[in-house]
Amino acid sequence: MKKIIGVLLTAGALLSASVIATEATHIENVNSGGVESMRGITELDDTRKADELKRVIKDRGPIDRDYVYQPPLVPHQTRGYEVSLNANKCLSCHSWKYAGEMGATKISVTHYQSREGQVLADVSPSRYFCLQCHVTQVDAKPLIENDFKRVDSLR
């Protein structure tokens, strides 16, 4: 009889210990509380599978601008275009020297000015890294409906 009680006690102790252990791990889990983001439901401590890469628009005409002073978007691929201390591939078409001959959009006059507005002979170093403002475009649908209106709507 004593033996049976002993066995039951140890079994009970083990069972309760395992329950506590599972509860502890459950608390450690971070729960999103069922809130779904536009990227779907993912627990915060899970790593979600990455989306497929979008394809960059190969080549098309200029893209209309949406607001005043918007840097024009890049309507073509730029893979392998070197912009470094040694060379700037963008400028071999878009600089004032070559834009006409290449049929490319000429870079703005503001790029030939220093921060203080002094006119320079060449592209200002502060404007040298084209892709900081001008970005290549992919053929992606907006994630949510967007009611942004173009600047024309203010006229």
Partner 1 sequence: MKLILNFWRKLTTPSKAAVGTILAMGFLGGIIFWGAFNMGMEATNTEEFCSACHAPIVKELKETIHYSNRSGVRAICSDCHVPHKWTDKIVRKVQASNEIVAFLMGTISTQEKFEARRKHLAVREWQRMKENDSQECRNCHNFEYMDFSEQGPRSKKQHSTALASGEKTCVDCHKGIAHKLPDMSDVPGW
What does the binding site for partner 1 look like in residue numbers (CB under 8 A)? 58-59, 76, 79-80, 82, 84-89, 91-92, 98, 102-103
Which residue(s) pair with 40 in the sheet? 37
Minimum CB–partner distance for residue 104 and partner 1 (Å) = 8
Q: What is the 3-state secondary structure (H, E, C) of 80-119?
A: CCCECCCCECCHHHHCCCCHHHHCCCCCCHHHHECCCCCE
- CB closer to partner 1, 7 vs 87: 87
Minimum CB–partner distance for residue 86 and partner 1 (Å) = 5
Q: Which of 73, 48, 76, 78 is nearest to 63 (CA)?
A: 73
Q: Which of 144, 155, 148, 151 is nearest to 36 (CA)?
A: 144
Share in percent of the chain as helix, strand, coil (round to 5): 30, 10, 60
- CB closer to partner 1, 120 vs 151: 120
Minimum CB–partner distance for residue 45 and partner 1 (Å) = 33
Q: Which of 67, 70, 73, 71 is nearest to 151 (CA)?
A: 67
Minimum CB–partner distance for residue 110 and partner 1 (Å) = 22
- CB closer to partner 1, 79 vs 141: 79
- CB closer to partner 1, 31 vs 92: 92
